[in-house]
Each structure stands twice: as C-alpha cells, then as structure tokens.
Structure 1
Amino acid sequence: MNVFAFFAAAVQSTRSVWRIGQTVLGIIFRHPITGTSVIPILPDGRIVLIRRRDDGQWALPGGMVDWGEDIPTTVNRELHEETGLDLVKIRRLVGVYSSPDRDPRIHSICVVVEADVAGTMEVQDALEVMEIQAFTPSSLPLEPMSHDHYRQLQDYLNGLTTLA
C-alpha cells in the first residue's frame, strides 16, 4: 500500500468513527430524557411536596428513569430517595408533559402519576432536597413552583389526564 492509499484509508476510517460518534452524541443529547413526577397522597389526604435545593422552589418528588427501569420502579425509587416515603399504590396517570421548555436543564418528557404513600417523611438526599412538607389540597403553594409542577398539580386537582 502506498502512502497516499494509507492516508486515504486513515481519513475514511476517521470519518466513519466521527459519523458513529455524531450518531451516539445525537442520540444522547438530541432526544428528550424520560422522567417522572409523583403526586404523593398520604393516608390523611395531604399532598407531599419537596423544596428543591437548586432553585429553592416547591416541587413534586421525581426524577429521571434509569437505564433498565420502568416507570413504576422509577416512581418508587425517586419517592423513597427524596422523601423517605414508601409507595403503597399508583392510583392513576395524571399526564405526560413534553414541552421542550418544561425543565430548564434539559428537554425531558415527564410521566406524572398520583400515588398512595405511607411512612415517615424524611429528607434522604440533602444535596437535592431542602425540605419536605405535606399540604392539604386547599393550602398548596402557589406559583412559582419548580419546572411545570404547578400545572401538573392543577391538572391533578381538576381531575384531568393531560397530554401536553
């Protein structure tokens, strides 16, 4: 093989690797990430919210679906990681929220569920959660709330199942 053929093959190989790299980066960074929000309902009917450390606002517990998890597993894991509460039962789907600007960090698709929960509220991840509090439906915090959680709560309180 002459020098020209060698360099031509090397350039072609580099282009192939670059195309593969671009495809992988496109998959990672150009597609929305799937997450969950949980509307946790205590046995007395109060709704549990967390105060996020990153923006200081009230929010629903939740987070990103890990590789190999389904939505119910993510709901259970995130609920316990953020509040210390245990999932008793997922009651219903409240909605799927996919607006590109709903999460200021990334484009995410959020599956929101209502869930019966039990246990003792206790901050598990102090780097993410500042405070946990239970509210009656009539005493929930007003806007602004983190992300689009105010809308999610309003849709829930209005009995809607939303695709947005």
Structure 2
Amino acid sequence: MGRLWQIFQTVLGIIFRHPITGTTIIPILPNGQIVLVRRFDTGQWGLPGGIIDWGEDVSTAAHRELKEETGLTLIKIRRLVGVYSAPDRDPRIHSISILIEADVEGRFEVQDTLEVTEIKAFSLDELPLGNLSHDHEQQLTDYLQGTTVLA
C-alpha cells in the first residue's frame, strides 16, 4: 500500500506541479495584416493559441487552436519566434508557450465563444500595443524585431 501511495503522489506531482505547454500563433493574412482575438476573460486583445492536447504535436495544436479561435486555416508555419516560460507569463497557471509565425487564410468566425469575443486584423502600425493579454506584448515585440527568443 505504501508503494501505491508513493506512485499516486508522484503522478499528482507530475500533473499539478509542472508547467502546461501551449502554442501561440502570429497569424499573417495574405495582405500582411496580423490577426488578434479579443479575450472573453479580460477583454484584452491577444494572439490566438492554447494548450497542446494529449497526443498532439505543436503544429497540430496550432492548426486546431487557430481554427477554434478565429475560423482561419493555417497554411504554412513560417518560423519559430520563441519559447516563453516565465512562471508569471500567464496569470492563471505556469505555462510554457511556443510562439510561431504562420501564413493563414479564410473567413473570421469565432468558434470558441467561451474564450474569444472578437477577431480583428491589424496592420503593423495599427497593432494595439500597450495593453495586450498575458505576455503577448513581449511576444509581438520580439516578433517585430525579428528575434528568436528563449525566455
């Protein structure tokens, strides 16, 4: 019985004491605009993305999350922009976000109405910098500067 309890505690520790991994997407429309979503929980603009489900790889999760939050189709991943792992980057949980830049197309359609209230495309000079959700301000700044970041 003692060994079983040890295994149970180990499994709980793995589940609840390790960061959650997700992906965030910088969606680029054919006209060069960047797509952001307005979050339901904070009312702030942010990049689409979310948690990688069990059995998914990063690319599959990015395709799924983009479709759920924007209705858009991910055509091509351009590059890895960075990996963001600061414990306070997400106010809800300790999460690690893998940020990618991607070519996207399609029509805007919020499919996940529990997370997203609005979708909008912004030109580079119209981006609502200054009050983005989570650490998306830093992520977009790093992207715009052309850097690849491990933070």
1:44 to 2, 26, 31: 31
Residue 27 of structure 2 aligns to a residue whose secondary structure is strand
**Structure 1: any 5+ residue segments left out of the alignment?**
1-12
Residue 155 of structure 1 aligns to a residue whose secondary structure is helix
Structure 1 stretches (4+) deviating beyond 4 angstroms? Answer: none
How many residues are treated as equivalent by the alignment? Answer: 151
Quote the residue 1:57 is aligned against.
44
Q: CA deviation at 1:18?
A: 2.2
Aligned equivalents of 2:112 and 2:56: distance in 1? Answer: 20
Quote the residue 1:161 is aligned against.
148
1:98 to 63, 66, 85: 85
Quote the residue 1:10 is aligned against.
none
Bigger-Rg structure (1/2) = 1
**Structure 2: any 5+ residue segments left out of the alignment?**
none
Aligned equivalents of 2:3 and 2:45: distance in 1? Answer: 47
Task: After TM superposition, list the pairs within 5 Å mapping 1:134-149 onto structure 2.
Answer: 134-149=121-136
Q: Identity, % of aligned pairs? A: 68
Output the TM-score relative to the length of structure 2.
0.98
Output the TM-score relative to the length of structure 1.
0.90
Quote the residue 1:7 is aligned against.
none
Deviations 1:4-24 (A, max 9, x none): xxxxxxxxx1x3332122101
- State yes or no: 1:84 paired with 2:71: yes
- State yes or no: 1:131 paired with 2:118: yes
